[in-house]
């Protein structure tokens, strides 16, 4: 503290400063102490051996492989890909309808989006799987088909809102410049506005993709065949066969292995988009 004598004006009196520091340090130690107490409590109070026996039996973990990857994770990704492709196509159409000057289009899109977003995804899936065949005598062929269409319908409502926000974020001057060069409304949209909108919405769109990947778990409710089992169904079947929760825990870990890189990517893209502004 020799510098204190040289620059007395810049630092608070030593006694008061020490008090401040110690108060802050005290708070820090309280947090560390609290955390440590919780960890100790968990270590002592939880019956780890029983927990591992019921939920993470090593032999059952090994048993899940390789089918949990080659079959279940593959099917989850297939449903995600089809669902997202369909949801994106439908979502763009809905977004354009919402922005249309033709009122019935706007109304239709608004009602569709409100209803789908206002219902639990599970209910929508059930309506599509069981209601549609009764109502319209339509049977979507194949389990992949049924599940993918249902997921596309659910995700399209969310994607439509993201796309609409993206289109509205493109400055009006862009459309005006395009139109002033003689481009039609459609050309301006296709070549100037939508490409820019998609750049803006890459981060929120990645989030939609993660949500959709997790929603594939709901497909197990409307029934899948042996060949199209996705992760959740695969895990639950494993639970039933072995009377042990380990397969579902492993399925959970595989989900994380798929979603974590995607959320990280979304975060990175978001930071980069913010930095470039």
Partner 1 sequence: MTTKPGAVPAVHLVNVRKSFGRLEVLRGIDLQVAAGEKVCIIGASGSGKSTLLRCVNLLERPTSGRVLVEGIDVTAPDCDIDRVRARVGMVFQQFNLFPHLTVERNVTIAQETVLGRPHDLAVDTAMAMLRRVGLDEKRHEYPARLSGGQQQRVAIARALAMDPSVMLFDEATSALDPELVGEVLHVMRELADEGMTMLVVTHEMGFARRVADRVAFIDEGVILEESPPAELFESPREERTRRFLQRVLERDES
Find the shortest distance in angstroms from Cβ 275 to partner 1: 13
Which span (36-44, 86-94, 173-181, 240-248) binds partner 1, by CB under 8 A?
173-181
Give the residue, chosen from 196, 207, 242, 259, that forms a contact with partner 1 under the rule CB under 8 A. 196
CB nearer to partner 1: pick between 94 and 170: 170
Residue 36: both structure tokens together: 């440590």
Site string for partner 1, 70-89 (x = CB under 8 A): --------------------
Site for partner 1 in 110-149 (CB under 8 A): none
**Between residues 104 and 173, which has the closer beta carbon with respect to partner 1?**
173
Among the residue ranges 58-66, 98-106, 192-200, 261-269, the one whose residues contact partner 1 (CB under 8 A): 192-200
Q: Torsions phi, psi of 119, nearest 5? A: -105, 150
Q: Does 199 bind partner 1 (CB under 8 A)?
A: yes
Region of 54-62, 152-160, 191-199, 207-215 interacting with partner 1 (CB under 8 A): 191-199
Is residue 90 part of the contact set for partner 1 (CB under 8 A)? Answer: no
Q: Which of positions 201-260 make contact with partner 1 (CB under 8 A)?
A: none
Cβ neighbors of 14 (< 8 A, separation 6 or more) are 1, 4
**Binds partner 1 (CB under 8 A): choice among 17, 18, 139, 191:** 191
Task: Return the closest-CA partner of residue 148 out of 87, 93, 192.
Answer: 87
192: Cβ–Cβ under 8 A, 6 or more apart, which residues? 174, 175, 177, 178, 183
Residue identified by tokens 């977004």 is: 95
> Is the CB of 121 or the CB of 170 nearer to partner 1?
170
Polymer length of the chain: 277
Q: Going by C-beta distance under 8 Å and a sequence separation of 6 or more, which residues neighbour residue 140?
A: 132, 146, 149
Tell me how far, at minimum, the Cβ of 196 lies from partner 1, in Å: 5
Q: How far is the CB of 166 from partner 1 (least distance, A)?
A: 13
Report the Cα 182 to chain-centroid distance in Å. Answer: 40
- How far is residue 254's CA from residue 233's CA, in Å, rounded to a whole number? 13
Nearest Cα neighbor of 215 from 116, 130, 132 is 116
Stretch that binds partner 1, among 22-30, 68-76, 175-183, 257-265 (CB under 8 A): 175-183
Quick one: 196 or 242, whose CB is closer to partner 1? 196
Alpha-carbon distance of 257 to 76, in angstroms, equals 13
Joined together, the tokens standing for residue 172 give: 């009006």
Query: Does residue number 184 form part of the binding site for partner 1 (CB under 8 A)?
Result: yes
Q: Which of 33, 195, 261, 267 binds partner 1 (CB under 8 A)?
A: 195
Total number of residues that touch partner 1 (CB under 8 A): 18
User: Residues 6 or more apart from 124 whose CB is under 8 A from it?
Assistant: 116, 150, 153, 154
CB 258 within 8 A of CB 73: yes
Residue ranges binding partner 1 (CB under 8 A): 171, 173-174, 176-184, 187, 191-192, 195-196, 199
């Amino acid at each position: 503290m020799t510098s204190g004598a040289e620059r007395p004006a810049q630092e608070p009196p030593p006694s008061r400063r020490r008090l401040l520091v110690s108060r802050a340090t005290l708070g820090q130690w309280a947090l560390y102490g609290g955390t440590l107490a919780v960890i100790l409590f968990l270590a002592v109070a939880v019956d780890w051996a029983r927990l591992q026996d019921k939920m993470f039996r090593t032999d059952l973990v090994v048993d899940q492989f390789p089918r949990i990857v080659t079959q279940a994770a593959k099917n989850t990704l297939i449903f995600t890909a089809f669902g997202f492709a369909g949801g994106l196509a439908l979502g763009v159409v809905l977004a354009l309808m919402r922005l249309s000057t033709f009122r019935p289009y706007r109304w239709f899109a608004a009602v569709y989006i409100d209803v789908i977003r206002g219902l639990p995804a599970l209910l929508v899936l059930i309506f599509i799987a069981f209601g549609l065949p009764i109502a319209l005598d339509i049977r979507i062929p194949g389990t992949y088909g049924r599940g993918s269409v249902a997921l596309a319908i659910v995700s399209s409502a969310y994607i439509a809102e993201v796309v609409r926000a993206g289109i509205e974020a493109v400055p009006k001057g862009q459309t005006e410049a395009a139109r002033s060069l003689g481009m039609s409304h459609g050309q301006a949209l296709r070549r100037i506005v939508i490409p820019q909108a998609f750049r803006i919405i890459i981060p929120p769109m990645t989030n939609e993709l993660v949500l959709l990947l997790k929603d594939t778990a709901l497909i197990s409710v409307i029934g899948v065949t042996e060949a199209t089992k996705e992760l959740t169904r695969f895990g639950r079947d494993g639970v039933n066969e072995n009377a042990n929760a380990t397969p579902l825990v492993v399925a959970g870990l595989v989900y994380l292995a798929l979603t974590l890189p995607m959320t990280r990517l979304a975060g990175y893209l978001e930071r980069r988009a913010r930095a470039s502004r």
